[in-house]
Chain A
Amino acid sequence: TQLLEQSPQFLSIQEGENLTVYCNSSSVFSSLQWYRQEPGEGPVLLVTVVTGGEVKKLKRLTFQFGDARKDSSLHITAAQPGDTGLYLCAGARDAGKSTFGDGTTLTVKP
Chain B
Amino acid sequence: KAGVTQTPRYLIKTRGQQVTLSCSPISGHRSVSWYQQTPGQGLQFLFEYFSETQRNKGNFPGRFSGRQFSNSRSEMNVSTLELGDSALYLCASRGGRSTDTQYFGPGTRLTVL
Contacts and interface: CB of A to CB of B under 8 A. Distances in A.
A63 to B, nearest CB: 13
Interface in A55-100: 88, 90, 92, 95-98, 100
B12 to A, nearest CB: 15
B101 A48 contact: yes
A43 interface: yes
Nearest to A88: B43
A94 to B, nearest CB: 9
B71 interface: no
B100 A48 contact: yes
Contacts, number: 54
A102 to B, nearest CB: 5
What bracket does the count of chain A residues touching chain B fall in?
A: 20 to 34
* B contact face: mostly helix, strand, loop, or mixed: strand
B107 A96 contact: no
B100 A100 contact: no
B76 interface: no
A31 B99 CA distance: 10
Contact of A45 (B56, B101, B106): B101
Nearest to B10: A40
Contact of A42 (B50, B101, B106): B106
A44 interface: yes
Nearest to B4: A42
Given A97-B56, A98-B102, A40 B107 contact: yes
A35 interface: yes
B63 interface: no
B48 A96 contact: yes
Contact of A102 (B42, B98, B99, B101): B42
B105 interface: yes
Contacts of B104: 35, 42-45
For the complex of A and B, the 10 pairs showing the least CB-CB separation, nearest first, are A42-B104, A92-B100, A31-B100, A100-B43, A102-B42, A42-B107, A43-B104, A48-B101, A42-B106, A96-B55
